[in-house]
Structure 1
Amino acid sequence: MKKILLLGLLAVAATLKAADKPNIIIYYADDISAREFPIYGSKVWTDPMREDTTDPIYRAKTPVMDRLAEQGVWIKTAWAACVCNPSRAMMMSGRYAYIHKWWNNKDKGVSIDDRGKMGTWPVYESSPLLLGHVAQKAGYGTYWAGKTQMAGEYAKHGFDEGCFTPGGLSDQDNPYTDFKHEYQKINGEKTLINVDTGKVADTYWQHGWYWYPHVKLMNHPTDAGKTVWWPNTKKSRKEFGLHTYGPDVEMEFTLDFMERKHEEGKPFLIYHTTHLGHDAFNWFDPESKSKWPGTPIVRWDGEKYKRIQPRITGDEGNYNTHGTVTPSGIHNHVNYIDYQIWQYQQKLEEMGEADNTVIIICADNGTSGYGKNSGEKQKGCHIPMIIYAPGMKKQGEQDVLMSVADIMPTVAELVGFEIPKDYAVDGESVVPFLFSDKPEHRQWIYAHRGPEQLIRGQKVLKDGRDKWWNVAESPDDLISFSEIKNWNSVLETHREEREELLEILPEFDLYYDEHEAPGVPSQLGKKKFPRYARKTKS
């Protein structure tokens, strides 16, 4: 068996060496469960009010990604963490929270900087080899587009340039758009105000990252060495307006970067962390109770997409979209992702790079209202995962286990960077599985939600509520597993796998013992954290 595997790995190396260094596009969607992608075949998905539905009107249509999933692969069981921040840390670093200390969105380990100030420990300090860094070290041009949500300086994460629709609320100085919220004191109480209307906003504090968006450029040639608000030129300021859609701006700058690198003869890594999939305040309809503002209308004719140019008029919360914006719903966000993947494909064809580009499509956690920040079963961590790589042996559905932590070492292997043997990485490169006859990728996958520990193998799953589930069979809604209450009622193989998983967990279960950066006293007694299912250790 070892000889066969070795021959397979040598074949992989020969395939990659024979080709040019492959370009890599990682499209990391926001808050989208696997069940929202039609390729996963779930009988249930999400409606605009965040409820379960079987209504086909709310079913996404993804002809481009469906084809990509069949020509490439789609992973049946891929996991992230249960919510955004720790998933992004896991993706970038290839490590779990016991190392990087990003336990939950509002629950991160702290460090003390050179000035003696305590703050969130940046992932690039706990993990100096992020996926952008390994690509840079291999001679790649690197670009980061979309949502940021990472502590510290953008440029230290391993990217040459970036176009950001900032997720950080510290970015309050944008002079170009009033689609934002701010806190004001009214009758002595801190109150959230919609700056566009001046009225109280019944939502969470946010900026507009979709329509009339907040956009920052990092190290663009027009402002080399700087991070500046966009629009940043006379022409772009004239064209910017209510019709401007943040995901389109990201794509425009990303495709421009790809073309520039292509002309330089330099391979590129694109890390596209779109907001698409994330719920948001509807600035065009401030009273709306639906969760996902509409997108520009796109239509698929069987061969290509056509996008309808948005036209929006109005002001101060009273707007008319003139039929150029879709209704609300996460399905329309997934449809727009399909359109953007088509845009990538068109640009790659135009540049002659389609046969030398790896495309990875996944998401950071489950859908809002269904799985996001949930430790129940695998609702919070089961995500879509589509991979297309020229020359790969596998095609179509792959009933294997995969983690977003696997992406960083996968990128390292694809670009030809050897991770030092003494540098700890929790992820496992998926390259040997994709390019050989290797039947499995990994035996178990892990996720977390603060102190909650989730782990599953091929047969059993332990969730964040310390319940065990039989996952040997696949329910048609992807989640209705049978709970295991009596271990004598299942096969011996189930019991054996449970014992194996329980032996693995203690290595990662360091929330209470090592919550902060090394050398920093625990701050757990001084902070208010999200509610967790597990009881605090005594």
Structure 2
Amino acid sequence: MANKNNQQDKKPNIILIYADDISAREFAMYQSSKWSGFRGKTTDDKAKLADIPVMSQMAEQGVFVETAWAATVCSPSRAMMMTGRYASLHKWWHNKDYGQVTDENGKKRPTRLYETSPLQIGHIAQQAGYKTIWAGKTQMGHSTDHSVYGFDEGVFTPGTNYPELSEHTTFGVHARKVNGQRELFNVDSGKKIQGRSYVQQGWYWKPNVQLMNHPSAKSSLEYWPNTPESIANYGVNTYGPDVELDFIFDFIDRQHAQDKPFFVYHTTHLGHDAFDFLQPESKDKWPGTPIVNWDGEKYTRVQPNITGEKGQYQLNGTVTEPGIHTHIEYLDYQVWLYQQKLQKMGIENDTIFIITADNGTSGYGKHIHVKQQGTHVPFIVYAPGQQLTKQGKQSILLSIADVLPTLADIMGQPIPEDYEIHGKSLWPYLTTDSNKHRDWIYAYKQDMTLIRGFNLMKDGNNDWWDVSSTPKDLTSFTSINDWSQVSDKHKQERDLLNDILPRFDVYHSEHDPISD
């Protein structure tokens, strides 16, 4: 039974799932006529559209936002999520393009996110009395001490010592010079990799895992498996997303036993492409997952039974075909496991879910600054124990920067008035009769800026698009080439958006943090 006074009597638990490289069009509730197939190529093959009954029901019973924007790629989006700020303040402009500072030796180095933005989602949760855990991908490669971001515990896949591998796994792609040329090699097989890939650790099968501040660890940062039992059970059938969830559930159990509210920041890798160590010759982007089946009421999972070694593996009918749809379906299965866990504990109505992603799908949206292909992401809020005034699809504009002030509102933790953020809390919209959240949303890719309102959008090429209606494929908007042919409403919004842009379009003038 829902606790109607939950917000006043007890702080709700919060589970924030930040998926990796998944466009809104991949989620069935967005009803796109197109989605991603082989290697991210656009298709209308229904067999390649993820079946997500659990998240679809959550979107129907809770809310989902029609137009939510992140940045076009991982690092700046994760910075936006964690800080509630755009790159004009946090200075993470793009992957590998960070504001520079001078260290104590007079050398330039990338700025760390906690240096430009000392108040982040983890800090707000801690200040509000929450216990916090960060599980999955971090993208904070400039520092190994991740507790500075406001998290009590961590389960990092891959570990923070990127791209080093632990003694437990050989699933990695490393680079070395051969005859003066940089070549990539599969550490597991020792063979040179043909085709496209990149240096990486395994985060799916036989994952490289590090724990931060876990009770079983002998140090603050320790590789897993780290106990006789976990070492004995670890191997090629160990799946990284399962490991993350096991430790999250262990964390939830411990906090619930102490009657403490918890904040889970689950930055799952599901959705991200990777080298397929099980099928090294695979041409697709997304390695298969353990097989899961939905019978209309519950999920069942097929226990993986992978055999073989050193790049020669047999899947024995226990791993799905490659494809992003299988990743999204496994995410749906994990969300179902969350729900089952909370129901068994009797706290399903005391827990809020926020489910979103960091940028568009690889091969379609990731890195793309054309229209909103790179920025348009799914966004679901499911809060069964809260008195929301909205339900289902919300035709509003939302920025990933809005998550931080939304969490602050839910947690009852004020943001200092002199601390500048760019996000706007979604909570008042969800809990009042308000019919609008924002008039505009903004994104960035290095020196390119993207902005849109309800009628107009300017993309990174400085092209303008009419977005007053949404095309079936969510991207085929009409280009505006003759302003004499558009309405006064469009022209007024253009002027508004042009007035806003100079606040954030400071890549060339304020690329680096201001020195003290």
TM-score by length of 1: 0.92
Q: Give the aligned partner of residue 433 of structure 2.
A: 437
After TM superposition, the structure 1 = structure 2 runs for residues 220-299 of structure 1, keeping only pairs within 5 Å, are 220-223=214-217, 226-299=220-293
Q: Give the aligned partner of residue 138 of structure 1.
A: 128
2:165/2:172 contact within 8 Å kept: no
1:179/1:196 contact within 8 Å kept: yes
Match of 1:206 among 192, 197, 200: 200
1:215/1:230 contact within 8 Å kept: yes
Cα deviation, 1:104-130, whole Å, max 9, x if unaligned, reads 002111223345443221111111110
Match of 1:77 among 67, 82, 94: 67
1:111/1:121 contact within 8 Å kept: yes
1:348/1:354 contact within 8 Å kept: yes
Partner amino acid, structure 2, of 1:64 = V
1:149/1:166 contact within 8 Å kept: no
Q: Give the aligned partner of residue 3 of structure 1.
A: none
Match of 1:342 among 336, 339, 343: 336
Partner amino acid, structure 2, of 1:158 = G
Aligned CA distance change for structure 1 residues 504 and 262 (closer, same or farther; 3 Å): same
Q: Give the aligned partner of residue 158 of structure 1.
A: 150
Match of 2:421 among 420, 425, 438: 425
Q: Mark the runs of 5 or more structure 1 residues left unpaired by the alignment.
A: 1-13, 521-538
2:163/2:199 contact within 8 Å kept: no
Q: Give the aligned partner of residue 11 of structure 1.
A: none
| CA distance in structure 2 between the aligned counterparts of 1:313 and 1:173, rounded to whole angstroms | 21
Partner amino acid, structure 2, of 1:337 = L
Cα deviation, 1:43-95, whole Å, max 9, x if unaligned, reads 10111222111111111000000000011000000000010000000000000
| CA distance in structure 1 between the aligned counterparts of 2:54 and 2:162, rounded to whole angstroms | 37
Tell whether 2:188 aligns with 1:192: no
Q: Secondary structure, in 3 states, of the residue corresponding to 2:205?
A: coil
RMSD (Å), alpha carbons: 1.3
1:16/1:414 contact within 8 Å kept: no
Partner amino acid, structure 1, of 2:346 = G
Q: Secondary structure, in 3 states, of the residue corresponding to 2:201?
A: coil
Q: Secondary structure, in 3 states, of the residue corresponding to 1:28?
A: strand
Single out whichever of 384-393 and 292-301 deviates more from structure 2.
Answer: 384-393
Match of 1:357 among 351, 354, 357: 351
| CA distance in structure 2 between the aligned counterparts of 1:374 and 1:466, rounded to whole angstroms | 13
Partner amino acid, structure 2, of 1:407 = V
Match of 2:506 among 503, 510, 513: 510
| CA distance in structure 2 between the aligned counterparts of 1:451 and 1:328, rounded to whole angstroms | 35
1:32/1:383 contact within 8 Å kept: yes
Structure 1 residue 170 displacement after superposition:
2.7
Q: Mark the runs of 5 or more structure 2 residues left unpaired by the alignment.
A: none
Aligned CA distance change for structure 1 residues 302 and 173 (closer, same or farther; 3 Å): closer
| CA distance in structure 2 between the aligned counterparts of 1:135 and 1:115, rounded to whole angstroms | 35
**How many residues are matched?**
507
2:159/2:209 contact within 8 Å kept: no
Q: Give the aligned partner of residue 9 of structure 1.
A: none
Q: Secondary structure, in 3 states, of the residue corresponding to 1:314?
A: strand
| CA distance in structure 2 between the aligned counterparts of 1:224 and 1:82, rounded to whole angstroms | 39
| CA distance in structure 1 between the aligned counterparts of 2:419 and 2:8, rounded to whole angstroms | 28
After TM superposition, the structure 1 = structure 2 runs for residues 520-531 of structure 1, keeping only pairs within 5 Å, are none
Q: Give the aligned partner of residue 495 of structure 2.
A: 499
Q: Give the aligned partner of residue 536 of structure 1.
A: none
2:12/2:352 contact within 8 Å kept: yes
TM-score by length of 2: 0.96
| CA distance in structure 2 between the aligned counterparts of 1:311 and 1:246, rounded to whole angstroms | 15
Structure 1's consecutive aligned runs of 4 or more residues displaced over 6 angstroms after TM superposition are: none
Q: Secondary structure, in 3 states, of the residue corresponding to 2:270?
A: coil
Cα deviation, 1:317-358, whole Å, max 9, x if unaligned, reads 110010000000000000001001111111111111111111
Q: Give the aligned partner of residue 326 of structure 2.
A: 332
Match of 2:394 among 390, 395, 398: 398
Tell whether 2:473 aligns with 1:483: no
| CA distance in structure 1 between the aligned counterparts of 2:157 and 2:34, rounded to whole angstroms | 31
Aligned CA distance change for structure 1 residues 432 and 467 (closer, same or farther; 3 Å): same
Aligned CA distance change for structure 1 residues 16 and 427 (closer, same or farther; 3 Å): farther
Structure 1 residue 18 displacement after superposition:
2.6
| CA distance in structure 1 between the aligned counterparts of 2:344 and 2:169, rounded to whole angstroms | 34
Cα deviation, 1:289-315, whole Å, max 9, x if unaligned, reads 111000000011111110111010111
Tell whether 2:462 aligns with 1:469: no
Partner amino acid, structure 2, of 1:127 = S
Cα deviation, 1:491-519, whole Å, max 9, x if unaligned, reads 10000000000000001011001111212
Aligned CA distance change for structure 1 residues 108 and 50 (closer, same or farther; 3 Å): same
Q: Give the aligned partner of residue 450 of structure 2.
A: 454
Cα deviation, 1:395-436, whole Å, max 9, x if unaligned, reads 000000001100011111111111010100100000000011
Structure 1 residue 188 displacement after superposition:
2.6
Cα deviation, 1:213-257, whole Å, max 9, x if unaligned, reads 111100000126511110011110000000000000000000110
Q: Give the aligned partner of residue 25 of structure 2.
A: 35
Partner amino acid, structure 2, of 1:394 = K
Q: Give the aligned partner of residue 523 of structure 1.
A: none
Q: Secondary structure, in 3 states, of the residue corresponding to 2:185?
A: strand
Match of 1:66 among 52, 56, 68: 56
Match of 1:411 among 383, 392, 407: 407
1:184/1:192 contact within 8 Å kept: yes
| CA distance in structure 2 between the aligned counterparts of 1:495 and 1:16, rounded to whole angstroms | 45
Q: Secondary structure, in 3 states, of the residue corresponding to 1:511?
A: coil
2:371/2:465 contact within 8 Å kept: yes
| CA distance in structure 2 between the aligned counterparts of 1:177 and 1:94, rounded to whole angstroms | 36
Single out whichever of 17-26 and 401-410 deviates more from structure 2.
Answer: 17-26
2:37/2:323 contact within 8 Å kept: yes
Q: Secondary structure, in 3 states, of the residue corresponding to 2:408?
A: helix
Partner amino acid, structure 2, of 1:26 = L
Q: Give the aligned partner of residue 82 of structure 2.
A: 92
| CA distance in structure 1 between the aligned counterparts of 2:320 and 2:162, rounded to whole angstroms | 30
Tell whether 2:46 aligns with 1:56: yes
Q: Secondary structure, in 3 states, of the residue corresponding to 1:243?
A: coil
Q: Secondary structure, in 3 states, of the residue corresponding to 1:75?
A: strand
